[in-house]
Amino acid sequence: MTENRPGDHEKYVKADQPYERDTRYIETRITRDGADGYPVEAGRYRLVVSYACPWANRSIIVRRLLGLEDAISMGVCGPTHDWRSWTFDLDPGGVDPVLGIPRLQDAYFRRIPGYEKGITVPAVVDVPSGAVVTNDFPQITLDFETEWVDFHRDGAPRLYPEDLRREIDEVNAVVYRDVNNGVYRCGFAGSQEAYDDAYDQLFSRLDWLTERLRTQRYLVGDTITEADVRLFTTLARFDPVYHGHFKCNREKLSEMPVLWAYARDLYQTPGFGDCTNFDHIKRHYYQVHRDINPSGIVPKGPDLSNWAEPHGREALGGRPFGDGTPPAPLG
């Protein structure tokens, strides 16, 4: 984490340098065999998220699609944070009601005193000890899909089916490099050259995705998979944030017909749109990233009501949940 004084904002742009994401995560896993010391156990763990964060948003969506709400509780941080940590400012008294802490960093410090790397969401916390188990966001959702199967709801989709895992992994790798992280490489580029390279790589991959999705409804196979979840959370932030704030402005998502229809198809699928909070998304990026938006002003636009417009992707076939069923409507 950046060494800032209290009240300072974290710095994301380093002059004359390309953006490099810190991927040194706590890689402990929660598995059925408990090999890392943390066995799958309903009610033991709490998923801490923010609806603002695309990496955390993935875990929110997967948890809901699989019906893990009763097995894994969820704590929600507010959309903004300071240099110290994400905070539970949405909860009464600013304290998480299960963990009893005001800041996510308290759970990190319980696991590793003086933890010096990023205090990130999503994080899975062991409730009895109050310590973070893992913040390895790509592995968290994969383990939800493969290790927590005994607690999946009846009719849960197969988001990471064995026969498609190799292809899903291949798609995820290039989408992460060029799109999920590519928008950050544009927004936090410290030089014109770094920005230009990231911009070209981003839109080249979006063009590739357009051709892939022109004749098939989903990224891999004929049902929703982990690959769709990972791409969706970036697309959902594209027009509200990345197009302007991160200078990803060759065109808006709403001006890319295939990807725009694909994104609306997912958004209108239970588990996606109902786990998306555009207000939190906009407030996070524009208020936290003060080195690229010094005023902290949050733009009023764009009008996001167009996410509810018909998408027409049903004509391509496919079944969102395969042989399963959608999750029940949120109460």
Q: Is 53 a catalytic residue?
A: yes
Query: Strand, coil or helix: what is 57?
Result: helix
Euclidean distance between CA atoms 155 and 153, whole angstroms: 6
Residue 38: other Cβ atoms inside 10 A: 18
Does residue 227 contact residue 213 with C-beta atoms inside 8 Å?
no
Nearest to 182 by CA among 206, 152, 163, 165: 206
Q: Is 184 a catalytic residue?
A: yes
Check 45, 53, 267, 275 and give the catalytic one.
53
Longest CA–CA separation in the chain, Å: 55
Check 160, 184, 218, 285 and give the catalytic one.
184
Euclidean distance between CA atoms 21 and 165, whole angstroms: 25
Mention every residue, 6+ apart, whose C-beta is less than 8 A from residue 184. Answer: 19, 21, 246
Residue type, 196: D
Is 307 annotated for ligand binding? no
Per the annotation, where are the binding residues for glutathione? 86
Binding residue ranges: 86
- List active site positions: 53, 184
